[in-house]
Structure 1
Amino acid sequence: MSPRLGTLDLVPALDRLDLLADPVAAARGTLGQAADEAWVCAIDPALADTAAFAEAYEVPLEASANCVVVLGRRAGEERAAACVVRADTRADVNGAIRRRLDVRKLSFAPTEWATETTGMEYGGITPVGAPKGWPVLVDERAAALEWALIGSGIRGSKLVLPGALLAALPSVEVAAYAL
């Protein structure tokens, strides 16, 4: 039985791979049998941004998780990560995340770079299918969600999976990464 989140019509993600960006669909194998616990729904792409989405689909902010891409340098080496925090919090970019990546200065990655590097649309970037080698830093509050509503890699849909499954994705490190 599908989870119930606001007014969303959720269907098994494996039945609607067309609602997932290519890197997300390709990553379904990394979920193993837990892929059966992933759900997806079509949404109006104009409502993909968190606040508009939450209001239009009656989903509480604390049930949604945002994924941001950060970028820093150390000794000429570029260091990127996907960071996932609940939508009612902010990523601790200048604290815990900067220290974890061991960079002096860290910032949100430029939009064009992030979309090109991930193969996902801005406003839909998700930790599922993040580039190999990137750490996926998941805040403990996002990992503790019963159902985490995240991007699907495109603006026209959302992915829903158990917080425990989010925490078990490849390259995930769960810690206090939000303010």
Structure 2
Amino acid sequence: MTLDWVPATERSDLLADPVARAVGEIDGVRVAEIDPELADTAAFCERYGVPLDASANCVVVAAKRGGETRYAACMVLATTRADVNGVVRRHLDARKASFAPMAQAVELTGMEYGGITPVGLPDDWPILVDTAVAEHPEVIIGSGVRRSKLALSGAALASLKSAYVMSLAN
């Protein structure tokens, strides 16, 4: 990898506000500055030499049942697709589950689209962590902004207070 990693607590300027407030509660989180034009997974991995199976994506899901909408985050490796309409919908006990609209995801998280991360999400949001992510020694994830990435262990993600480890693949 061609990134300059530093402890995330030392560079809060590279984090969205909710991420900066939460990152100190997680052991071993590092941050690296990147070109914001290369924040999307494929471009990021190619430019910075990060294998796709070491990069994890955070997908915001809107789950609906009985006129109520609840939100959750799903963490999957970049090589995996989350089964939103099956596994995720059933876990959230929803009639319908879909990707949250971009503007809504940005507003609710306080993070930039393309940088949304489970670190610093609202406390009442479940964070569904795919087993492959939880077992990974180190994954690269968003930092809440497009101009940086976080690195941490899958175990650290699995230890977030509202995390549930499960197989999310379809």
Work out whether the TM-score is over 0.5. Answer: yes
Partner residue in 1 for 2:3: 8
One of 11, 34, 40 as aligned partner of 2:31:
40
CA deviations over 1:123-179 (Å, ceiling 9, x no partner): 000000011200000000011111110000000000000111111012000000123
One of 53, 61, 67 as aligned partner of 2:58:
67
Contact 1:30–1:170, Cα closer than 8 Å, also in 2: no
Unaligned runs of 5+ in 1: 1-5
2:140 is paired with a residue of what secondary structure?
A: strand
Contact 1:30–1:169, Cα closer than 8 Å, also in 2: no
Establish whether residue 54 from structure 1 lines up as the match of residue 49 from structure 2: no
RMSD: 0.9
Partner residue in 2 for 1:21: 16
Contact 2:9–2:24, Cα closer than 8 Å, also in 1: no
One of 145, 149, 169 as aligned partner of 1:154:
145
Alpha-carbon distance between aligned partners in 2 of 1:56 and 1:28, rounded to the nearest angstrom: 26
Partner residue in 2 for 1:138: 129
- Counterpart of 2:115 in structure 1: which amino acid? G
Alpha-carbon distance between aligned partners in 1 of 2:52 and 2:88, rounded to the nearest angstrom: 22
Partner residue in 1 for 2:117: 126
Alpha-carbon distance between aligned partners in 2 of 1:16 and 1:78, rounded to the nearest angstrom: 35
Contact 2:23–2:29, Cα closer than 8 Å, also in 1: no
TM-score (structure 1 length as normaliser): 0.93
TM-score (structure 2 length as normaliser): 0.97
Alpha-carbon distance between aligned partners in 2 of 1:97 and 1:148, rounded to the nearest angstrom: 21
Alpha-carbon distance between aligned partners in 2 of 1:99 and 1:111, rounded to the nearest angstrom: 23
State the 1:96 CA deviation: 0.7
Alpha-carbon distance between aligned partners in 1 of 2:169 and 2:13, rounded to the nearest angstrom: 32
Contact 2:41–2:78, Cα closer than 8 Å, also in 1: yes
Q: Which runs of 4+ in 1 moved over 2 A?
A: 28-31
Count of matched residue pairs = 170
Give the percent of matched residue pairs that are identical in Structure 1 and Structure 2: 62
Partner residue in 2 for 1:81: 72
